[in-house]
Structure formats: structure tokens, C-alpha cells
């Protein structure tokens, strides 16, 4: 079973949290927000509070909603989750003069994100699209691991066994995301340090994609050498347990 609070953290920090990487990887995304400096805050009662900041064609995500240009309040995690699945239309509490950005550029940006995260078979035939899509999925998965490990009851149990340090999830000669653990709290490390306490590496980006899509089994891939592990293996074991929970939330 899943819970709405954890899902709201995943939706804000992992799904919408992929917008900075989308703007970095996809010129079309960067062009949508270029020359439009604006910040959009999401305040979820009983859930996360964070702000997406758009500047110079890029995007960052910060905790809290202080000083945001547009504020979108949600009365519950369920309401916010409804925004992500398209069943809820929020009413801004602040920033009515900038509503055009929400209706045009921000909507176009989230539609583009959906296209990359829920890619069609035809889109994936294009090698560049395939690489960008799979890279985005890697970052979404890493961020979702952190939110499940911090908020989901079963995920917190697994996180309680993860010692302080860093876990690197990477594709050989490809993208990498790093999860830092401190006091059994997990967070994505934006610095992606080259040396980590534990490492889990996919042999190639196609294997990573198959794993994210649920087409292959991680344990089987470890046995065949498709996934290589090094460092403190207990950290990876517990991250893999959390990944099982992530699959339920992102299904």
C-alpha cells in the first residue's frame, strides 16, 4: 500500500523536481522559460512546501515558499496529487498578474516533462530522446528513493539501516545521481562526488531503461554482471528495498 503524504513529496521533489534537469537537457524546455524570471511556490497542508524558480532559461527547486511570485496552496496531499494526475486545478493565492505563465509556459513545460517521463515507443526510437528520457528517469528515481526513505513507513524502516555516507547510482560512461544519507535521512546530492561510500552501476543505458520500465529484475542483472556494485553493499541492499517501494508509487 502507498500513502498520499509520501506521494505528495515524490510528486513535488521527484516529478516536478525533474524540471531543473529537463531545462538542462532539453533545449525546447529551456526556451519555454528563457527571459521569464518567475518563481512558483507549492504549499501542501500536511505535506511539502517548495518553490520552483525559473531564471535565464534554467530552473531550480528550493525548500519553502517564502518570497515566491506565484503561490499555489493545496488543502491536502490528495489535492496536490490531483494536480499531478490532472484531476485538480489550483487557484493561486498570490500572483494573479502572472497567471499567464502558469497557463502557457508552465503547462507546456510540464506537458513536455510528461512526454519524456512517459515516453511513447515511437519517441524512444530516437537515440537522443531515449538518452534524455532515461537520464531524467534516473534522477526521478533517485529523488523518489529519498522521499520514500524519509516519509513512507516501510521506506523509513529500510533507511534506518543506512549508515551515513553517499550512494552513487550511475550508468557506465553515462549519467549519475548521488544519494546522501545522514542520520538515516536521505537527500539527492547535487554535487555528484566521484567517490562514494557505495556504488551501483548499470552496464549501459539500455539496461537502466529496462530496469526502470520493470522489464528486467535487478537481482538477475547483478548475477549476470549487468549491474555492478562496490563499496558498502549493505547501503545498496537497503536502497534496493526502498526502490521496490518507489516502483509502487511511480506505477
Q: What is the pLDDT of residue 214?
A: 85
Which tens digit of pLDDT belongs to each residue from 17-62?
999 999 999 999 999 999 999 999 999 999 999 999 999 999 999 9
Mean per-residue pLDDT, 114-126: 96
Measured on CA atoms in the order 48, 49, 54, 60, is the torsion positive or negative? negative
Poorest-confidence range of 54-58, 142-146, 221-225?
Answer: 221-225
Q: Report the CATH number at residue 187.
A: 3.30.1050.10
Of the residues 59, 87, 117, the one at which a domain ends: 117
Domain count, the chain: 2
Q: How confident is the model at residue 1 (pLDDT cuts 50, 70, 90)?
A: confident
- The predicted model scores a pTM of 0.95
* % of residues, the chain, pLDDT over 90: 89
Rounded Cα distance between 204 and 37, Å, is 37
Give the other-Cβ count within 10 Å of 28's Cβ. Answer: 11
Q: What is the pLDDT of residue 194?
A: 81
Same domain for 137 and 243, yes or no, is yes
Question: Residue 9 belongs to what domain range?
Answer: 4-117
Sequence-ordered list of residues with C-beta below 8 angstroms from that of 74, at least 6 positions apart, any chain: 42, 43, 44, 45, 47, 80, 83, 88, 90
Q: What is the pLDDT of residue 218?
A: 81
Q: What is the pLDDT of residue 215?
A: 87
Same domain for 127 and 245, yes or no, is yes
Judging by beta carbons within 10 Å of its beta carbon (0-12, 13-18, 19+), is residue 233 exposed, middle or buried? exposed
Which tens digit of pLDDT belongs to each residue from 88-103?
999 999 999 999 999 9
Q: How confident is the model at residue 181 (pLDDT cuts 50, 70, 90)?
A: very high
Of the residues 76, 91, 117, the one at which a domain ends: 117
Q: Tell whether the model's pLDDT for residue 13 goes beyond 90.
A: yes
Amino acid at each position: 500500500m502507498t500513502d498520499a503524504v509520501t506521494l505528495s513529496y515524490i510528486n513535488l521533489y521527484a516529478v516536478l523536481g525533474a524540471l531543473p534537469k529537463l531545462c538542462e537537457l532539453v533545449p525546447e524546455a529551456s526556451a519555454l522559460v528563457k527571459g521569464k524570471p518567475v518563481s512558483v511556490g507549492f504549499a501542501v497542508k500536511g505535506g511539502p512546501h517548495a518553490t520552483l524558480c525559473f531564471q535565464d532559461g534554467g530552473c531550480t527547486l528550493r525548500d519553502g515558499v517564502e518570497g515566491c511570485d506565484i503561490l499555489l496552496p493545496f488543502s491536502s496531499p490528495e489535492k496536490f496529487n490531483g494536480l499531478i494526475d490532472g484531476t485538480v486545478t489550483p487557484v493561486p493565492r498570490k500572483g494573479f498578474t502572472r497567471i499567464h505563465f502558469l497557463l502557457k509556459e508552465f503547462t507546456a513545460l510540464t506537458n513536455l516533462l510528461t512526454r519524456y517521463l512517459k515516453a511513447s515507443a515511437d519517441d524512444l526510437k530516437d537515440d537522443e530522446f531515449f538518452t534524455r528520457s532515461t537520464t531524467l528517469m534516473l534522477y526521478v528515481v533517485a529523488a523518489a528513493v529519498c522521499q520514500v526513505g524519509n516519509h513512507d513507513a516501510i521506506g523509513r524502516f529500510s533507511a534506518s539501516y543506512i549508515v551515513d555516507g553517499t550512494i552513487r547510482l550511475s550508468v557506465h560512461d553515462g549519467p549519475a545521481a548521488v544519494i546522501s544519507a545522514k542520520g538515516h535521512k536521505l537527500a539527492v546530492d547535487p554535487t555528484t562526488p566521484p567517490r562514494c561510500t557505495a556504488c551501483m552501476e548499470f552496464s549501459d543505458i539500455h539496461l537502466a531503461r529496462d530496469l526502470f520500465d520493470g522489464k528486467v529484475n535487478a537481482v538477475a542483472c547483478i548475477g549476470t554482471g549487468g549491474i555492478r556494485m562496490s563499496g558498502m553493499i549493505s547501503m545498496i541492499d537497503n536502497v534496493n528495498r526502498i526502490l521496490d517501494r518507489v516502483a509502487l508509487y511511480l506505477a
